[in-house]
Copies of this chain bind each other. A is one copy, B any other.
Amino acid sequence: MPINAVGREVPSEINGQRFKPFAGDLKTPPEGRRAGSLIRMAPRSRSKVVNSLEEVIKKVGLEDGMTVSFHHHLRNGDFVVNMVMETIRKMGIKDIRVFPTALFPVHEPLVPMLTDGTIRRIEGSMNGPLGEATSYGVMRETAVLRSHSGRVRAVESEEVHIDVAFIAAPTADPYGNLNGVDGPSACGPLAYGMVDAYHADHTVAITDHLVPYPAHPISIFQHQIDYVVPVDRIGDPQGIMSGTLRITTSPSRLKIARYALEVIDRVALRDGFSFQAGAGGISLAVTKFLGDLMRKRGIKASFINGGVTKYVVDMLHEGLVDVVFDGQAFDLDAVKSLKEDKNHIETPLAMYGNPYSSGGIVNMLDVGVLGATEVDIDFNVNVNTHSDGLLLHGIGGHQEVAAGSALTIITVPLYRYRVPVIRERVTTVTTPGEVVDVVVTEHGIAINPKRDDIIEAMRGSKVPIWDIQDLQKKAYQICGKPQEPKTTDDIIAAILWRDGTIIDVVYKVKK
């Protein structure tokens, strides 16, 4: 097997499909043209409503071996994946490739379908039980994980051909205009579903809030939707929304946030700057502290790219930022703002960070603040597996935000539960060190040596600055040398870089 640019041995074929080894960001140029979607002619009818999933699955002609897709805006509150897959199972359709943007613990009912012949493989993020089951070798074929933008690229290039897209729609009208800002299962944007709506051979919206024509606002437009299926409930608001997100209260995590803030302040903070931070406790703290600092300094950001939370919305309302780009809403404040604020813009995922486009939002980011399960002394980052080898998380937008941001900061504790986070070698490479600039821990920061400008900017700071190898040694001192995960040689998942090259593989974990 070839060795790729981060030193990992990777196969050149996965599930019979050829993939190139990772060669570095923007080092593998695209080839050819995008896939063309199937041309349909809508019949003379003013309603696309079909009354059951079984009926619609018959109408679209779903067959053994086909690919069905889902978006994950309903997150851990989603009912749609389970109800569609259960219907498929009951109908006796086999060997389905499931192509979600992401799956969550709520989707555990799919685990038995991995062995009963319904599902041959899942290509998408698997947070929790499905990832764990996959790690133990339960899935017949090999899982393929892509970043948000990598998935868009894969659909556009027909690396993955979607036969039927099942699109959860918190609001839909009978002719297929959809949005996510209204209804009992409101989730905010429908950005993850857009590329599926455009490219799938058949498109089915599933809604629990059918409104008179025309639904508005419109996130996904009627001319891309073939059928609308009303159901009782598409989700559980408790699981869709994260509730009121809490800033971390841990003193060591707060220290990480403060260190990150100082790096941002010294390197990137200026009028018109831009940033992206997630919804984790440390990221929220960074966002909050950054807002405070901007207020104090009279600095205004040009845009924040989200994952949007209340903290971001507050900054928008306060005039601390011109524009919020929204691919995903984490709380009801974000949903409400998306609905009401003209400068809170839902962005098609194709605009996010697909390298095979005329340029994504991430290319304009000054600062990206990201997390990790592990970081190694080459600044490689793992967000997919835990140190025991289990595949428990998706890639999200990690790769493209890291690749695009002028300043990419990874905020991590030095160790978790006596297991070093800063290590000699990450269990899995999700994001290569070449696009990571600063690693921030509660013990201090490590700066990628190729970033002289950041090293220079941090001179005189009271933030402890470490060589990353020393940080790693410190972690090992405290925790002891970490154990290797107990894995076999069987590859259970491929991790693709956003350009479709293989950056790493995940091995089967011994029970």
List residues of chain A with CB under 8 Å of any chain B CB. 26, 29-42, 44-46, 48, 156-157, 175-176, 203, 212-214, 216-218, 221-226, 272, 302-303, 322-323, 325, 339-340, 342-343, 345, 347-348, 350-351, 354-361, 363-364
Contact = CB atoms under 8 A, between A and B. Distances in A.
Nearest to A30: B39
15 contacts: A30-B40, A30-B41, A33-B36, A40-B358, A42-B358, A212-B272, A213-B302, A213-B303, A213-B364, A214-B364, A216-B323, A222-B360, A222-B361, A223-B350, A223-B358
A358 B225 contact: yes
A323 B214 contact: yes
Contact of A342 (B37, B340, B363): B340
A34 B158 CA distance: 13
Given A357-B42, A363-B46, A216 B343 contact: yes
A336 to B, nearest CB: 13
Copies of this chain present: 2
Nearest to A197: B358
A221 B345 CA distance: 11
Given A36-B36, A223-B358, 19 more contacts: A30-B41, A32-B36, A33-B38, A34-B38, A40-B358, A41-B356, A41-B357, A42-B358, A48-B359, A176-B359, A213-B303, A214-B302, A214-B325, A214-B364, A216-B345, A222-B358, A225-B358, A339-B342, A342-B342
A31 B36 CA distance: 12
A491 B484 CA distance: 78
A37 B42 contact: no
Nearest to A199: B34
Nearest to A202: B358
Contact of A34 (B36, B203, B272, B350): B36
Contacts of A26: 41, 44
A34 to B, nearest CB: 4
A34 B39 contact: yes
A37 B34 contact: yes
B34 A222 contact: no
Contacts of A36: 32-36
A33 B42 contact: no
Contact of A358 (B33, B34, B224): B224
